[in-house]
Amino acid sequence: MTISKDSKYFIPAITILLAMLTAMSPLAIDTYLSSMPIMAEYFGVTINLVEITLTVYFLGFAMGNFFGGPLSDAFGRKTLAMTGITLYILSALSIPFCRTIEQVWVLRAVQAFGGGFSSVTAMVFVRDWFKGAKVARLATMVGMVMMFAPLVSPIIGTALGQLIGWQSIFWFLAAYGVVLWVLFYAFMPESREAHLITRRITPGQFFSKYKLFFQSRPAVLLLLATAFSMSGMFVFITSSSFIYLEYFGMKPEVFPILFAANVLLNVVLSLLNNRLLKKYSPQLLLKTGLLAGLVAATLIFIYTVDGEAHFIPVFAGVVFYIGSLGMVFGNATATILNLLPKISGAANAMIGVTRFIASFLIGSLTAVFYTGNLLPLGISMFVCALLANGFYWLYKRSERDLICR
């Protein structure tokens, strides 16, 4: 009973299903942020060891993307998505029974691998069905709907953590996975053309797809610009529990409201981006988003560099940084996929791999250089934004060089 592409409900339905698919990881990340102090107390460890459950998630997600992209080209998008969702469900069900924080690290890596394995197919579904600016518009729509996950997940996580216990958060994630699995099985059509689904892939074929990707200098540079821009957001997310609950002394019930402010501006700018795509190119809007992120990161750096951060400027800087990503991710993804349509699965995988590997490394460094203040946050976000803009400048330069040849 899958949805036909000719149906008037096709685009709304796949937008919701793909948004639910890509929301798996934001839910897995954001639901338990406010419960980190509770988990630290439960396992008898410091909060920075609980924060490692986020950084290992980034690594596991990257590995899921790495293997999932080329495999989705060979086995089909739907098969890979449902396999990843299954892994996500099983690991989420197991985490509440952990007795040490190290066990949580391992299972979070497995959960992330499942999340990356499945969500890597989301934008490839779109690229299989559509081309050009329509990919950017639909990618932005999916991203906008998906951003409601960070809006509601801290509220859900705080309520479950306070009323029932941190374990209930992972039971909720497992239940979400089950619902998504059923909906995907029932309604999502396969987007990969039947003659392209070989159901076999050799190691040589697997790595050749990535070799083709790295032969495209513009795609690689744009990939790095996107990865570092998104990494700045994940640096904040990794430390958000410490920032709001410990450093600024906010109450856990206020945490979802603060977190929601970041998401709301992102949704507004995603909507604006979707309208502007009718008039302006994805590259111009991407450049605007990256520059806005650099301005916001500079503000955060200025107000944290002396070690005595003030709430209002830091909060405002974070809101504008995360909001600016509403004009970054969809446009960058569409541009990269349009550059390499024949290996769209591997190309989309590299977007996820690079983004989450960068987030893992920068997030780990931020945790390692824990100082008890917000200086590591300010430096990390500023460096991420600076590198993102630098790589975008190199991308435009390489694009001009190709035209001149």
Tell me what pLDDT residue 343 has.
74
Closest among 144, 147, 148, 170 to 157, alpha carbons compared: 170
Q: How many CB atoms lie within 10 A of CB 390?
A: 16
First to last CA, the chain: 51
Tell me what pLDDT residue 206 has.
76
d(CA 181, CA 8): 23
d(CA 150, CA 28): 10
Closest among 103, 129, 128, 113 to 10, alpha carbons compared: 129
Tell me what pLDDT residue 145 has.
64
The structural domains of the chain, with segments of one domain joined by +, span 10-193+205-404
Q: How far is CA 39 from the centre of its chain?
A: 23
pTM confidence score: 0.72
**CB contact at 8 A, 255 and 159:** no
- One-letter amino acid of 397: R
Q: For tokens 């529990």, what's the residue?
A: 241
10-193+205-404 folds as Growth Hormone; Chain: A; (1.20.1250)
Tell me what pLDDT residue 317 has.
93
Question: Which own/partner contact pairs does 364-372 have at CB distance under 8 Å and 24+ positions apart?
Answer: 364/52, 364/55, 366/235, 366/238, 366/239, 367/48, 367/51, 367/52, 367/55, 367/238, 367/239, 370/48, 371/307
Q: For tokens 């081309």, what's the residue?
A: 131
d(CA 67, CA 71): 6
Tell me what pLDDT residue 405 has.
47
**CB contact at 8 A, 57 and 109:** yes
Task: Enter the tokens of residue 27.
Answer: 């839910």
Tell me what pLDDT residue 392 has.
94
What are the respective helix, strand and coil percentages of the chain, to the nearest 5?
Answer: 80, 0, 20
pLDDT (tens place) for every residue of the chain, 405 residues total = 676 666 777 778 888 888 888 888 888 988 888 888 889 989 998 888 888 888 888 889 888 888 887 787 777 788 888 999 999 999 999 999 999 999 999 999 999 999 988 888 877 777 777 766 677 777 777 766 666 777 788 888 888 988 898 999 999 999 999 999 999 888 888 766 666 676 777 777 777 878 888 888 888 999 999 989 988 888 888 778 788 888 888 887 888 888 788 778 888 888 888 888 888 888 899 999 999 999 999 999 998 887 777 889 999 999 999 989 988 988 888 888 888 777 777 777 788 788 778 877 777 777 666 667 888 888 889 999 999 999 999 998 887 655 544
**CB contact at 8 A, 30 and 237:** yes
Task: Enter the tokens of residue 58.
Answer: 């980034």
d(CA 104, CA 85): 19
Helix, strand or coil, per DSSP, at residue 7:
coil
Tell me what pLDDT residue 112 has.
93
Tell me what pLDDT residue 192 has.
67
